[in-house]
């Protein structure tokens, strides 16, 4: 165990300074300190169901932006970007495909020792059953570099994007299509698996089905509870098949999904509030985990939100909002970690956690609160594998486009110049001290 004795009462100082102290922040020696990305959001140059949809919808999204974002406190700062149709087209994204070495160097300079990324299915299998050797070679070189630089890869297989041919077949709505994903996963694990061990099969299954099949906001823009349910079950099936086949072949991989979890709690003592909070927690967390937990070696946790429930509705305090207007309660990650750990008995890797903060005024506070909460949870017995901040770079935030800035590193998309934000440099210092 490494111990750090920072000065302030609850463990980590906002300025990251070291002074004498009362409580200790401790993490295991092999703790993964890193950041996360996904191919579609950073790589650029893709052709998948999202890029097709973006071109069809960019104008509409730009026109609707005042209705969608006009109430945000920072509207005047973002409106130019949000009203521009180009904002909604991923295009070159932040050119991570060509600039990954530079990005790895930046990660190293921030003392990170791990990166989460996704392998883009539409690159590896551009046509059904046809593998692209070029793409496989690209990712081979990518992971080789990552390892050489001392960055432990955490690899996602499905992060919301699908090859167009697969989407045209009905995507995950059809159970018989799951075999295509399993075939892709096996190909990737066989060809590239010697460079990594941490594998996330499916990123945020509930977010994907809610946005794509219930709210109809993301491709294929359906509003069907039946389709939503079917896709969710098929994603659980996909995960289980990939894992059981790999385990059957005696693999060394460590598998999980990336589970979006919120801390849902009753705002008062009324039985309805308490009952609703429990019910929502079960429905949002345990329902899906129940299908896959036995097929997980750890739990990948994506934490962004808490929901305070009065009666049967969420009424959040909204004391501190991020650029997207999301209520921020970072410290509550502790309760999510403790609940998941005691319920499923698995180690936990925080696979995403962060905020949209273009001015970088809140990121340091958010991370400080989070590190304190992580440390407290480990004292309470949670086996924490690592912390991967979302995101390494500013990137393409799906139907909101490029204006939300989640990066530790800002990117000027005209020049593609990367600049670590002050909070990133501060975090680098904290990791440096914690890893001594
Ligand atoms: C997703 C990311 C997304 C982030 C911020 C997660 O839901 O996995 O792709 O950019 O949250 O919204």
Q: Where are the domains of the chain?
A: 21-434
**281 vs 229: CA distance, rounded Å:** 18
pLDDT at res. 436 = 83
CA distances (Å), origin 378, targets 331, 347, 403: 14, 11, 35
Tell which atom from ligand 1 comes closest to the C-alpha of 207: 7
The residue nearest atom 5 of ligand 1, judged by CA position, is 397
The residue nearest atom 12 of ligand 1, judged by CA position, is 397
Give the pLDDT band (50/70/90) at residue 16: very low
Give the pLDDT band (50/70/90) at residue 23: low
CA 396 to ligand 1 centroid distance, Å: 10
pLDDT at res. 15 = 46
CA 23 to ligand 1 centroid distance, Å: 33
- Its pTM stands at 0.95
Q: List the helix and strand counts (H, then E) for the chain.
A: 15, 15
Give the pLDDT band (50/70/90) at residue 272: very high
Position 115 pLDDT exceeds 70: yes
Between CA 354 and CA 109, with CA 111 as vertex, the angle to 5 degrees is 105
Tell which atom from ligand 1 comes closest to the C-alpha of 38: 9
* Tokens 């590896």 belong to residue: 124
Q: Does the beta carbon of 399 lie inside 6 Å of ligand 1?
A: no
From 256, 352, 396, the mutation candidate for ligand 1 (largest count of ligand atoms within 8 A of CB) is 352
* Secondary structure letter of residue 327 according to DSSP: B
Position 139 pLDDT exceeds 90: yes
pLDDT at res. 369 = 98
pLDDT digits (tens, 9 = 90+) for 340-396: 999 999 999 999 999 999 999 999 999 999 999 999 999 999 999 999 999 999 999
Give the pLDDT band (50/70/90) at residue 19: very low
Q: Does the beta carbon of 394 lie inside 6 Å of ligand 1?
A: no
Whether the CA torsion 365, 367, 371, 377 is positive or negative: it is positive
Give the pLDDT band (50/70/90) at residue 318: very high
From 160, 322, 390, 393, the mutation candidate for ligand 1 (largest count of ligand atoms within 8 A of CB) is 390
Give the Cβ contact number of residue 242 at 10 Å: 26
pLDDT digits (tens, 9 = 90+) for 165-202: 999 999 999 999 999 999 999 999 999 999 999 999 99
Q: Does the beta carbon of 37 lie inside 6 Å of ligand 1?
A: no
pLDDT at res. 11 = 42
3-state class (DSSP) for residue 333? helix
* Secondary structure letter of residue 286 according to DSSP: I
Q: Does the beta carbon of 156 lie inside 6 Å of ligand 1?
A: no
Q: Does the beta carbon of 204 lie inside 6 Å of ligand 1?
A: yes
Tell which atom from ligand 1 comes closest to the C-alpha of 302: 6
Position 21 pLDDT exceeds 60: no
CA 434 to ligand 1 centroid distance, Å: 27
Report the top-level CATH class of 21-434: alpha beta
pLDDT at res. 2 = 36
The residue nearest atom 10 of ligand 1, judged by CA position, is 397
Tell which atom from ligand 1 comes closest to the C-alpha of 304: 11
CA 131 to ligand 1 centroid distance, Å: 28
Name the region of 165 (left: φ>0; alpha: ψ -120 to 50; beta: rest). Answer: alpha
Q: 53 and 77 in contact (C-beta within 8 Å)?
A: no
Position 14 pLDDT exceeds 60: no
């Amino acid at each position: 165990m490494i111990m750090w004795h920072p000065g302030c009462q609850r463990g980590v100082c906002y300025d990251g300074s070291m002074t004498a102290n009362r409580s200790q922040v401790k993490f295991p020696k092999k703790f993964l300190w890193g950041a996360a990305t996904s191919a579609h959001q950073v790589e650029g140059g893709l052709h998948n169901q999202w890029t097709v949809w973006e071109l069809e919808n960019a104008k509409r999204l730009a026109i609707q932006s005042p209705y969608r974002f006009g109430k945000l406190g920072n509207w005047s700062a973002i409106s130019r970007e949000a009203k521009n149709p180009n904002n909604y087209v991923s295009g070159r994204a932040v050119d991570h495909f060509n600039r990954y070495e530079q990005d790895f160097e930046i990660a190293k300079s921030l003392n990170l020792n791990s990166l989460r990324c996704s392998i883009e299915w539409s690159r590896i299998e551009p046509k059904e059953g046809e593998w692209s050797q070029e793409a496989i070679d690209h990712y081979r070189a990518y992971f080789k570099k990552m390892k050489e630089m001392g960055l432990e890869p955490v690899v996602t297989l499905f992060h919301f994007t699908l090859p167009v041919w697969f989407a045209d077949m009905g995507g995950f709505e059809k159970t018989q299509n799951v075999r295509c994903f399993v075939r892709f996963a096996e190909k990737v694990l066989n060809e590239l698996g010697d460079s990594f061990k941490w594998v996330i099969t499916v990123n945020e299954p509930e977010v994907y089905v809610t946005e794509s099949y219930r709210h109809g906001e993301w491709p294929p823009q359906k509003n069907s509870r039946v389709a939503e349910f079917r896709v969710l079950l098929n994603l659980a099936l996909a995960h289980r098949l990939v894992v059981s086949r790999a385990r059957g072949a005696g693999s060394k991989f460590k598998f999980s999904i990336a589970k979006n979890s919120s801390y849902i709690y009753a705002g008062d003592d009324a039985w309805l509030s308490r009952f609703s909070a429990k019910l929502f927690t079960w429905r949002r967390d345990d329902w899906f985990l129940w299908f896959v937990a036995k097929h997980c070696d750890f739990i990948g946790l994506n934490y962004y939100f808490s929901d305070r429930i009065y009666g049967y509705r969420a009424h959040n305090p909204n004391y501190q909002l991020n650029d997207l207007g999301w209520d921020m309660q970072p410290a509550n990650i502790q309760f999510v970690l403790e609940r998941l750990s005691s319920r499923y008995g698995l180690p936990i890797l925080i696979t995403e956690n962060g905020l949209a903060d273009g001015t970088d005024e809140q990121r340091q506070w958010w991370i400080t609160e989070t590190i304190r909460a992580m440390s407290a949870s480990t004292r309470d017995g949670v086996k924490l594998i690592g912390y991967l901040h979302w995101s390494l770079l500013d990137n393409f935030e799906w139907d909101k486009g490029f204006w939300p800035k989640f990066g530790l590193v800002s990117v000027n998309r005209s020049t593609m110049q990367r600049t670590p934000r002050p909070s990133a440099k501060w975090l680098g210092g904290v990791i440096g001290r914690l890893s001594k």
